[in-house]
Each structure stands twice: as C-alpha cells, then as structure tokens.
C-alpha cells in the first residue's frame, strides 16, 4: 500500500476533519479507487502522528457518507464508484444503476421540510451572540457540560436512565462510541455477545479491534437467554427498545432475565435504538434503570429529529468511567461546540419535545400508508416487521429469488430497496429480506413505490 502524506499543521480545522477531507479528496480524485483499502487505523495514526480515536472518527465520517465500508478483519474498503456509492451487499448491474430511481426507500432519509430550521437558527444565533469569545475554542472532551446535564435529565424523564452529567460522553455516531469502548475494555478479558441478526456496525467494530464475538440468536421477545448462558460471552450488546431487524420491543421479563444474567457476568451494552418512534403506549424502562452499575448505555438522536449533525452519547458506569479517564488520554470531541451549545439550549427551551410530537404524528401517517399498501399488494407473499415502531421495516419475501435479484428487479421499476445480508453473522434465513425506509417519501410516493415493487417481484 502506498504512503499517504498530510501536513496537519497547515490548517486550523479539527484534525479528524482534515483526515476525513484528505481521504475524501483522494477518493474523489481517483487516487483511491473502488475496492482499494485505506490504511489501517493503527498505521494511519502512526503515519499522521495522531491518536487512533482521531482516525476512527474520520473514517466513520467517510462510512456515514458511503465513501468507504468496514469489512470485518480486513479494514476499510472504498465503495465509491463515480457518482454512485455502493454498499458491499447490494449487487446491482451497472445498467440497472443508471435507471432513474423514482422511489428511494433508503433508511435514514427524512423529509427535511418538516424540520423547524427557523427555530433552530434562532437558537443557534442566540448561542453565537452569547458565546462570541469562547464557542470556537476547544471545549470539554466529554462534551459540553450543559448538554450532558440536559441529556441526563431527558434520559431520566423518558427512559428512567440513572446518570450524572460526568458519566456521559458525547460522540457523533454509535459506531464511533463503540470504537471508544473498544479502547476501554480489555480484549483478553471480554467476549462480546451480539444479537443475530443485528446491528453490524457494532459487531464489525468489535471484530476489527480484535475482540472475540459470539452471535446470540433471538426469540420472539428478545435475545435467547439459554443461548447466552451456553455461550462464553461475558458482555452482551442488545437493542431492547427496538431490535434492529426483528423490530421487537424486548419484554419486561426478558429484561429482568438479562439483569439476572449480568449479575454473574461483566456488562450489558444497551443500545437504545430509535426509542423516540414508537406508536403504541408500551414504553418499558431501560435496562440501565434496572442495573446501572453493570449497564453501558448508548443512545443517539434520530436523524429524523436532528438532521443537521450526528449526535450520540454514552452513559458509563463509574468503573468504566474510571477506565475512560485512565486509558483514553486523547479523545477528540467530534461534535462541534456550537452544535452542542445550540442543541443544549434547544432541549432546555422545550423545542425538541414539541418537534418530537409533531414528527411522531407525521411519520405515524406515513407508517399507516406504508402498511396499508403492503396489505393491499403483498399481503400473502411477504412478512413485514416493525408495524408499531420506527421509520423503516424489513420485508421477508416468500420467493425463490435472491436478495440481489429482488433489489435489481426493483431498480428496473425505478424503486430502490436495500439488502440485509450483512446484518447476519454466518447464518441466513430461508427467504431473502430487504430493508425499506419511508421517512423521506410522501404518502402517495409510498403507495406507488410499493405497488411497483409488487409488480416487479410478483408480476
């Protein structure tokens, strides 16, 4: 692999952003091409004389914009091809890719005109006016205290999470924060259990740092405790509020069983994924509220609510917090002070709560249209997960076609859906499953897109 040269002293921009910009330009200029690998995090950190965490943040920005993809045990591979950024698990022909996509069911896309930009800018401008002397200087590495205080209050009121501001670490994405945990936990003392199927970002990050990872299958109400007991895992990564693929809400009994399990093991890592978008009044307390001493809590603000920047956070038990202070000597805060100060005030003034209620109503309407269309055109030939939560669903299609064939047929009709093979660890289901997000589409677009998919798949 060729050497890369970057003079970090010539810019006043954050170091992670300089590294991100450097590799982005290398990709766009064709110096790094499709299927090329970036240098490993360790070698890049050594080459540029920066911390591994700084490089990790830069790489995660490239991942989030789909210039690169994380390949377990191999590294970060370029997946950008010209104007089209490809996931490694989506096999579509070049001819299909050139077809006009009329309906893109991409998960994570949202309807930007629903965000109150005027109100946000008003709060942001006020923060600039009141902090002209210091908002551009370096802040607390864990995140602004005022934001962490607001997060502590919000988490207690909404999920029963027990925390003090000093236990909270602010970050950009959950994957970036999992990378931070990998620098804290000892590889030879921790075996990580992960939901199968489940969030591949966390699983791949643990693998890339050298942790042993064991897949734990799911039952109808959450992770299988019997399988967990029979594994060698002493840390379990779970998403109880909304399991990523099965979209289930872990039962209260299963949460209690996990708490019982962790009494004789090390930690539960609770990823409270998309808890904001549940359309039934069946909220359950967080696992962290049941056993805060042994639960590491990861949260994020949905891009549907905060589309302007990425904001995630960790709530660490005090023993893990001590390890953070002793092991992570350099943590470059990836979220700007101005964004943190603005969002802190946005929370404090109550705007976020009003926005959340409005967005729930908006997406509730879309959810109903989506599942009505599924029922109308695909009732007996697909199984849909997630009818009561989230901004996306998974369709398991009863067909002898492959996942790639389903995606390609959709593209030919001008409809884009996404593969799910990467979420499985070694095993796969009998029928292919595809991912559809509907946050950015209008009700009529949702209906028409599902109709076209049915025509593409079933004739």
**How high is the pLDDT of residue 166?**
97
Q: For residues 69 and 58, what is the distance between their CA atoms, to the nearest angstrom?
A: 13
For residue 412, tell me if it sits in a domain: yes
Domain span at 24: 15-78
Structure confidence by residue, pLDDT tens digits, 152-166: 999 998 889 999 999
For residue 90, tell me if it sits in a domain: no
**How high is the pLDDT of residue 332?**
86
Same domain, 146 and 277: yes
Strand partners, 131: none
Same domain, 295 and 164: yes
Q: For residues 107 and 245, what is the distance between their CA atoms, to the nearest angstrom?
A: 12
Same domain, 235 and 298: yes
Structure confidence by residue, pLDDT tens digits, 201-235: 899 899 989 999 999 999 888 899 999 999 999 99
For residue 379, tell me if it sits in a domain: yes
For residue 185, tell me if it sits in a domain: yes
Same domain, 72 and 146: no
Same domain, 422 and 380: yes
End-to-end CA distance of the chain: 48
**How high is the pLDDT of residue 298?**
96
31: domain CATH number is: 1.10.10.10
Structure confidence by residue, pLDDT tens digits, 240-253: 987 767 667 888 89
Structure confidence by residue, pLDDT tens digits, 250-261: 888 999 999 999
User: Whole-model pTM?
Assistant: 0.78
Same domain, 271 and 342: yes
Beta strands 392-397 and 415-416 are unpaired
* Centroid of chain to Cα 429: 23
The domain boundary, picked from 321, 337, 353, lies at 353
Structure confidence by residue, pLDDT tens digits, 249-306: 888 899 999 999 999 999 999 998 766 766 555 667 899 999 999 999 999 987 666 7
Same domain, 187 and 321: yes
Same domain, 232 and 349: yes
pLDDT at 15 > cutoff 90 = no
Same domain, 146 and 294: yes
For residue 120, tell me if it sits in a domain: no
Query: If you search the block for the tokens 């019982």, which residue do you land on?
Result: 260
Same domain, 348 and 363: no
- Asked whether 301 and 25 are in contact (CB, 8 A), the reply is no
Same domain, 329 and 373: no
The number of distinct structural domains making up the chain is 3
Q: What's the sign of the alpha-carbon dihedral 141, 147, 150, 151?
A: negative
Same domain, 30 and 70: yes
401: domain CATH number is: 3.90.1150.10
For residue 95, tell me if it sits in a domain: no
């Amino acid at each position: 692999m060729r050497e890369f040269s970057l003079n970090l002293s010539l810019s006043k921009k954050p170091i992670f952003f300089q590294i991100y910009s450097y590799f982005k330009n290398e990709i766009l200029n064709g110096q790094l091409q499709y299927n090329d690998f970036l240098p490993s995090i360790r070698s890049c950190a050594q080459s540029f004389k920066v911390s591994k965490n700084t490089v990790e943040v830069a790489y995660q920005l490239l991942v989030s914009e789909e210039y690169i993809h994380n390949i377990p045990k191999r590294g970060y591979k370029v997946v950008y091809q010209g104007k089209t950024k490809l996931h490694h698990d989506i096999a579509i022909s070049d001819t299909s890719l050139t077809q006009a996509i009329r309906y893109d069911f991409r998960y994570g896309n949202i309807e930007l005109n629903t965000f109150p930009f005027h109100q946000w800018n008003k709060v942001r401008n006020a923060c600039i006016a009141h902090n002209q002397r210091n908002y551009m200087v370096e802040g607390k590495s864990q995140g602004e205290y005022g934001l962490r205080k607001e997060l502590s209050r919000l988490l207690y009121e909404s999920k029963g999470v027990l925390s003090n501001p000093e236990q909270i670490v602010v970050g950009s994405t959950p994957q970036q924060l999992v990378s931070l945990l990998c620098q804290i936990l000892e590889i030879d003392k921790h075996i990580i259990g992960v939901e199968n199927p489940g969030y591949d970002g966390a699983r791949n990050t643990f693998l890339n740092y050298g942790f042993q990872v064991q897949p734990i299958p799911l039952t109808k109400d959450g992770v299988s405790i019997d399988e967990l007991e029979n594994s060698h895992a002493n840390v379990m990564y779970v998403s109880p509020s909304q399991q990523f693929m099965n979209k289930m809400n872990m039962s209260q009994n299963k949460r209690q069983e996990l708490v019982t399990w962790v009494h004789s093991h090390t930690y539960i890592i609770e990823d409270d994924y998309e808890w904001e978008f549940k359309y039934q009044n069946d909220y359950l307390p967080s696992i962290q509220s049941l056993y805060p001493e042994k639960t590491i809590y990861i949260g994020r603000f949905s891009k549907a609510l905060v589309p302007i920047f990425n904001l995630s956070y960790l709530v660490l038990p005090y023993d893990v917090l001590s390890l953070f202070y002793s092991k992570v000597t350099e943590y470059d805060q990836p979220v700007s002070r101005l964004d943190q100060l603005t969002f802190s005030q946005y929370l404090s003034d109550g705007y976020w709560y009003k926005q959340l209620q409005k967005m729930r109503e908006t997406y509730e309407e879309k959810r109903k249209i989506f599942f009505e269309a599924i029922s109308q055109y695909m009732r007996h030939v697909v199984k849909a997960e997630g009818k009561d939560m989230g901004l996306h669903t998974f369709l398991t299609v009863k067909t002898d076609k492959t996942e790639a064939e389903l995606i390609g047929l959709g593209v030919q009709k001008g409809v884009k859906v996404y593969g799910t093979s990467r979420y499985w660890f070694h095993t796969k289901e009998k029928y292919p499953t595809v991912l559809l997000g509907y946050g950015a589409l209008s009700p009529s677009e949702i209906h028409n897109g599902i109709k076209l998919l049915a025509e593409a798949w079933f004739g």
